[in-house]
Chain A
């Protein structure tokens, strides 16, 4: 099993350009998440999808959009990239959104390192 995969691994954009970060999981999980991690800071939730067909805003959604394409795939789009969006982006998945037990343990992908010039 590959677990959670993310593409691309690295990306450099110019201000104003758009791009989509791809994420896929092969664990048949219902819930998926997008986080950003800035140096010296904790992970901050951008958007999440409790189940196929639903998406909700997290802590820092401005400047991003998401699509839960199917149960496996959850993409993050930057419509007009800004230097403040330079960060490492992590996708994660869990069996359920919140159950108080091991089922909601999140499994993370390897991250996408994005630089916006």
Chain B
């Protein structure tokens, strides 16, 4: 069964600090991996997308990495802001599945 596991489940950091969220997956054959940000009470919004050949993708203060050999991805947030408080969801699509597998998300809280 295709699985996506995220860690940590929750994280609290101080404003201005950096943090890294992890995503491990077993989806095979692999097509692409996305990171979504979900603010409380809202629908998820796409942050980055990476295909097999890409190992780094940035979107402002967000940098995602992908190691397709070890089936791991990370999302690094630089100089965190209060508005970064949200749930971050890793979503992996398999080449044959036609559907995506969602991780349970990491809840990030940024405190002043």
Q: Which chain B residues (96-111) contact chain A, with CB distance < 8 Å? A: 97-100, 102-105
The answer to whether B89 touches A43, judged by C-beta atoms less than 8 angstroms apart, is yes
Question: Which residues of chain B have a CB within 8 Å of any CB of chain A?
Answer: 4, 31-32, 34, 41-46, 49, 51, 89, 93, 95, 97-100, 102-105
The answer to whether A101 touches B102, judged by C-beta atoms less than 8 angstroms apart, is no
The answer to whether A106 touches B99, judged by C-beta atoms less than 8 angstroms apart, is no
Say what secondary structure dominates the interface of chain A. Answer: loop
Give the residue name and chain of the B residue nearest to A31 (CB): B98
Interface size class on chain A is 20 to 34
List of A residues within 8 angstroms of B46 by Cβ: 105-107
The answer to whether A92 touches B105, judged by C-beta atoms less than 8 angstroms apart, is no
Q: Does A100 make an interface contact (CB < 8 A)?
A: yes
29 contacts between A and B (CB under 8 A): A40-B104, A41-B104, A42-B4, A42-B89, A42-B104, A42-B105, A43-B44, A43-B102, A48-B99, A97-B98, A98-B98, A98-B99, A100-B93, A101-B49, A102-B49, A105-B34, A105-B46, A105-B49, A106-B44, A106-B100, A107-B46, A108-B43, A109-B43, A110-B41, A110-B42, A110-B43, A111-B41, A111-B42, A111-B43
Q: Does A24 make an interface contact (CB < 8 A)?
A: no
Give the residue name and chain of the A residue nearest to B94 (CB): A98
The answer to whether A90 touches B43, judged by C-beta atoms less than 8 angstroms apart, is yes
List of B residues within 8 angstroms of A102 by Cβ: 49
Looking at the assembled complex, report how far the CB atom of A47 sits from the nearest CB atom of chain B, in whole angstroms: 11
Counted as pairs of residues, one from A and one from B, with CB atoms less than 8 Å apart, the total is: 56
Q: Does A4 make an interface contact (CB < 8 A)?
A: yes
Q: Which chain A residues (81-112) contact chain B, with CB distance < 8 Å? A: 90, 92, 97-98, 100-102, 104-111
List of A residues within 8 angstroms of B43 by Cβ: 4, 90, 92, 108-111
The answer to whether B51 touches A42, judged by C-beta atoms less than 8 angstroms apart, is no
The answer to whether B44 touches A108, judged by C-beta atoms less than 8 angstroms apart, is yes
Q: Does A50 make an interface contact (CB < 8 A)?
A: yes
Looking at the assembled complex, report how far the CB atom of A51 sits from the nearest CB atom of chain B, in whole angstroms: 12
List of A residues within 8 angstroms of B31 by Cβ: 98, 100
- Which 9 A-B pairs rank lowest in CB-CB distance, beginning with the nearest? A108-B43, A42-B102, A42-B104, A43-B102, A100-B31, A105-B46, A98-B98, A108-B44, A90-B43
